[in-house]
Copies of this chain bind each other. A is one copy, B any other.
Amino acid sequence: DIAISGVAKAGLIYNSEGEESTRVHNEVLLTFDGTGETDGGLQFGFNTNIIIEDNGGVANDDTTVFLSGAFGKLSFGSVAEADEVAGLSDIGWEGLDVDDVAEALVGDELEDILDVDLSHNVNYTYATGALTFSLSGQLASGGHGADNVDSYAAGIKYSFSDAYVGLGYADHGVGIASADVVSVFAGGTFSGVKVAALYSDASLKDGLGGKADAKAYGLNASYTMDALTLSLGLGKADYDGVTDHTSVGIGAAYDLGGGASVHAGLAQVKSPGDENLEAFPDGAKALADDKEVRADFGVTFTF
């Protein structure tokens, strides 16, 4: 069976350092979900997202194929990196990338620094009771061709009542350079406040004896009163004393019913935008010190 759903958005995006500080944005996302079951009781399916932004081209916004059963769940395509056990939500409408500062070392985010595609394309996840265990990697494929990248990750998550803790580990090799990342995650809902936090530590080696260390951490908290949800995001990344990145943002969302909602966010982010961040640690390029004020406001419709 194939189910179709969709999301449409329209609104405004502000960035104090943008070429045009304010711009309108709209997008339509069509989601196709295929689901089935074998005679032996295995579940299988796919998830494909087709997006059109600002009346532009037709693009793939993540496609996965999966097979699951008693053995766990095996996913192919745009899969989660296993070490990103519980990422933080972003702040705002279209997203101000407040979470990116805290998440700069986990999942495939180091690709901004290492300047190669670190996204994984195979994920295996096994859940038993309160424990969830995941492995993922970037295997050679048509989308991840013959290159010098070896990237693997593992993660474990323990859930209890309304909370969880998690641990992630990733090992990236890019030619002779490498990076090891350890990350810790915790979150839950306490007295109506939903909190998620992460701490991560990366050890980077350039393969010639050069070493660097980086730490990134942050949290997201949100509180919902009837139709209104308020949220706060904080992030910090410390690149071995060379440079600091920081983010702080607040957001609000109001549910209009029927699948529609209004969202707004305001944030101050000191680097990195992809446009600002440069390679680290092979050079001192992470010094980019661009403090941006970001805001967005818009409607989100779900179908």
Q: Is the CB of A48 within 8 A of B30?
A: yes
Q: B residues within 8 A CB of A66?
A: 10
Contacts A/B (CB < 8 Å), 23 sampled: A2-B5, A2-B30, A6-B32, A10-B67, A10-B74, A10-B77, A19-B145, A19-B146, A25-B142, A26-B76, A26-B141, A27-B65, A28-B46, A28-B63, A28-B65, A36-B260, A37-B258, A39-B256, A44-B258, A54-B77, A55-B62, A56-B60, A65-B301
Residue of B nearest to A227 (CB): B39
Once bound together, how far apart are the Cα atoms of A76 and B54, in whole Å?
A: 8
Distance in angstroms between the alpha carbons of A260 and B185 in the assembled complex: 37
Q: A53-B142, A54-B77, A67-B299 are in contact. List 9 more A-B contacts (CB 8 A).
A: A2-B6, A4-B4, A8-B34, A23-B140, A23-B141, A24-B122, A28-B34, A28-B63, A58-B59
Question: Which residues from chain A sit less than 8 Å from chain B, CB to CB?
Answer: 1-2, 4-6, 8-10, 19-20, 22-28, 30, 32, 34-40, 42, 44-46, 48, 50, 52-60, 62-67, 74, 76-78, 121-122, 139-146, 256-260, 299, 301-303
Which chain B residue has the least Cβ–Cβ distance from A53?
B142
Contact A257–B38 (Cβ < 8 Å): yes
Write out the residue numbers on chain B whose beta carbons fall within 8 Å of the beta carbon of A141.
23-26, 54
- The complex is assembled from copies of this chain, and their number is 3
Q: How far is the CA of A234 from the CA of B134 in the complex (A)?
A: 43
Q: Which residue of B lies closest to A20 (CB)?
A: B140
- B54 touching A48 by the CB < 8 A rule? no
Q: Is the CB of A1 within 8 A of B77?
A: no
A45 to B46, CA, bound (A): 26
Contact: B44 with A55, CB < 8 Å? no
Q: How far is the CA of A32 from the CA of B142 in the complex (A)?
A: 25
Chain B positions within 8 Å of A62 at CB level: 55
Q: Give Cα A44–Cα B140 distance, bound, in whole angstroms.
A: 43
Q: How far is the CB of A146 from chain B (nearest CB, A)?
A: 4
Q: How many angstroms between the C-alpha atoms of A32 and B50 in the bound complex? A: 12
B60 in contact with A58 (CB, 8 Å): yes
- Contacts A62-B55, A76-B10; is A44 near B260 (CB within 8 Å)? yes
How many Å from the CB of A247 to the closest CB on chain B?
22
Set of chain B residues within 8 Å of A22, measured between Cβ atoms: 140
Bound-state Cα–Cα, A24 to B260, Å: 39
Residues of B contacting A44 in the complex (Cβ-Cβ under 8 angstroms): 8, 258, 260, 299, 301
A60 to B26, CA, bound (A): 14
| CB <8 Å contact, A50 and B58 | yes
